[in-house]
């Protein structure tokens, strides 16, 4: 991209980083480095967790891009309960060391959004897709393909942020949400989509191709 409209450190992390920095500085002044070492380490963790680096967008317009950094934990035929259809489901698991900014995988218009409260099971488990807290964003491309993105809270994740609203138009790679502290994103695609990622693959939001729409 020629420009990047978001800060390199995600705005969702600013309150956490500011408060941790304040604690570290106070501990440093009052007790020296021995007291401040742990807060400084926490600050370093916060900075790496809330990083939001710019990403290059692949040229292929048929490519479905990864909405998140992480590891592929599922590539399978499954029921898309949000659009009531059979679909190709690809799931990306994010651990606490991945960047957690979520990006739109296809050019399209938001046709539906939903939020579900739920449990906080380990996001690597298959049942987390339907039992955990989650936010759903359904998109329709100009060619009529429908793509569902589901942000799923994890074991220690306690806040899903989704900024998409029905009627919004997005381009591939646009930032649309954030999940704090470990989670997964499920992508439901038309059955005829051709998967380009396999279980175990490490992927990066926007830059990695999950599948191709045909």
Quote the pLDDT of residue 1: 34
* Mean pLDDT, range 166-178, rounded to an integer: 94
Q: What is the pLDDT of residues 35-79, one digit of tens each?
A: 999 999 999 998 988 888 888 999 999 999 999 999 999 999 999
Number of domain units in the chain: 2
> Does residue 36 share a domain with residue 137?
no
pLDDT at residue 147 is higher than 80? yes
Write the CATH number for 177: 2.70.70.10
> Does residue 188 share a domain with residue 94?
yes
Quote the pLDDT of residue 137: 98
Q: What is the span of the domain harbouring residue 195?
A: 63-212
> Does residue 161 share a domain with residue 190?
yes
- Among 196, 199, 191, 192, residue whose Cα is nearest residue 209: 196
Percentage, residues of the chain above pLDDT 70: 91
- Reply yes or no on whether 183 is catalytic: yes
Per the domain annotation, does 1 fall within a domain? no
Q: Which of 66, 91, 101, 183 is catalytic?
A: 183
C-alpha distances in angstroms, 211 versus 40, 69, 75, 208?
A: 41, 15, 10, 9
> Does residue 184 share a domain with residue 131?
yes
End-to-end CA distance of the chain: give it in Å, rounded.
25
DSSP string, the chain: -----S-SB-GGGHHHHHHHHHHHHHHHHHH-HHHHHHHHHHHHHHHHHTB----PPPS-TTEEEPSSSEEEEEEEEEEETTTTEEEEEEEEEE-TTS--EEE-SSSEEEEEEEEE--B---TTSTTHHHHB-EEEEEEE-TTS-EEEEEEEE-SS--EEEE---TT-EE-TT-EEEEEESSEEEEEEE-TT-EE---TT-EE-TTTSEEEE--
pLDDT at residue 169 is higher than 60? yes
Q: What is the pLDDT of residues 200-210, one digit of tens each?
A: 999 999 999 99
Question: 142 or 124: which carries more pLDDT confidence?
Answer: 142
Quote the pLDDT of residue 124: 66
Confidence band, pLDDT 50/70/90 cuts, at residue 84: very high
Confidence band, pLDDT 50/70/90 cuts, at residue 3: very low
Quote the pLDDT of residue 120: 66
Per the domain annotation, does 137 fall within a domain? yes
């Amino acid at each position: 991209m020629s420009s990047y409209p978001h800060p390199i450190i995600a705005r969702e992390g600013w309150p956490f980083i500011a408060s941790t920095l304040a604690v570290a500085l106070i501990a440093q002044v009052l007790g020296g480095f021995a007291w401040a070492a742990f807060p400084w380490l926490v600050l370093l963790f916060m900075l790496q967790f809330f990083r939001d680096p710019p990403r290059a967008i692949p040229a292929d317009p048929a490519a479905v891009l990864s909405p998140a950094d992480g590891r592929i934990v599922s590539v399978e035929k499954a029921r898309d309960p949000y659009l009531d259809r059979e679909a190709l489901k690809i799931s990306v698991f994010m651990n606490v060391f991945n960047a957690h900014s979520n990006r739109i995988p296809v050019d399209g218009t938001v046709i539906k959004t939903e939020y579900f409260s739920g449990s906080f099971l380990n996001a690597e488990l298959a049942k987390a897709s339907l039992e955990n807290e989650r936010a759903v964003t359904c998109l329709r491309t100009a060619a009529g393909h429908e793509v569902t993105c589901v942000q799923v809270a994890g074991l220690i994740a306690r806040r899903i942020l989704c900024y998409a609203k029905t009627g919004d138009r997005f381009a591939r790679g646009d930032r649309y949400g954030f999940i704090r502290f470990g989670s997964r994103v499920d992508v439901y695609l038309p059955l005829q989509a051709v998967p380009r990622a396999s279980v175990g693959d490490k992927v990066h939001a926007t830059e990695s191709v999950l599948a191709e729409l045909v």
